Amino acid sequence: MIAYAGTVKIETDRLILRKLDHEDAQSIFDHWLSDERVTDNRVSAAHKSVTETAERVVKIINGHDKKDFCYWGIELKTTEELIGEIDLYDFDNTTGNCEVSYSLGYRWWNKGYGTEALRAVVDFGFSHMNVLKISAAHNTDNPASGKIMSKVGMRQEGTIRDMIYNSKNQYKDCAVWGILRDDYLKNDL
């Protein structure tokens, strides 16, 4: 049985994973949701205005009252800059499974922040929420995301053709990854 904990603050060596607030809308817009280099790897199109981002932030904030809502902003400890987001979602109480997704602003790619945030959330899901399996997917033309997943112990389980239809009216294949709690705990990742 999943032990829902909501969006609790998580600290790592360099990051703070925290709830979003209204004041974050401008940073979210500037740092990743208006950047096509980032949104090309997401299902939704780049935001055209900070108002669009602010509306999205309100929906996220409203979810923070629910125990089964786990959605964090990724903040650098040293500068307090909001550099990305990560969430656990699509919980299945029958199987104990869920999914994880994340986005980082382009300026912070290839610095290990994605791996650090994903490792913290995977650990939280297994150690505190009693989740059995965590899955994720990435566009096959974004192998860097697969490297992040691999570094936290996830294994590629297959590829789903035409899994998503993006904002550029293109179908994209996605690599699907997963990690089981027992494998994670056994390997002390």
Per-residue confidence (pLDDT) for residue 165, from 0 to 100? 77
> In 3-state terms, what secondary structure has residue 157?
strand
Q: Which two three-digit tokens encode residue 188?
A: 């002390």
Per-residue confidence (pLDDT) for residue 60, from 0 to 100? 96
Degrees, nearest 5: CA angle 27-103-155:
165
- Under the banding of pLDDT at 50, 70 and 90, the label for residue 46 is confident
Q: How many CB atoms lie within 10 A of CB 119?
A: 18
Averaged pLDDT for residues 36-51: 80
Per-residue confidence (pLDDT) for residue 189, from 0 to 100? 57
- Under the banding of pLDDT at 50, 70 and 90, the label for residue 22 is very high
pLDDT tens by residue, 80-126: 999 999 999 999 999 999 999 999 999 999 999 999 999 999 999 99
Nearest to 87 by CA among 59, 50, 56, 60: 60
Degrees, nearest 5: CA angle 154-156-161:
140
d(CA 99, CA 116): 17
d(CA 20, CA 17): 9
Q: What is the CATH number of domain 10-187?
A: 3.40.630.30
Q: How many CB atoms lie within 10 A of CB 15?
A: 23
Checking if the pLDDT of 45 tops 90, the result is no
For residue 37, what is the enclosing H or E element? helix 36-39
**Domain ranges in the chain?**
10-187
Expressed in angstroms, the distance from the first to the final Cα of the chain is: 23
- Under the banding of pLDDT at 50, 70 and 90, the label for residue 188 is low
Averaged pLDDT for residues 163-170: 76
Checking if the pLDDT of 43 tops 90, the result is no
More confidently predicted of 37 and 75: 75
Mean pLDDT, the chain, as a whole number?
93
Per-residue confidence (pLDDT) for residue 99, from 0 to 100? 98
What is the pTM assigned to this prediction? 0.94
- Among the residue ranges 25-29, 46-50, 65-69, 85-89, the one predicted with the least confidence is 46-50
What proportion of the chain, given as a percentage, has pLDDT over 90? 80
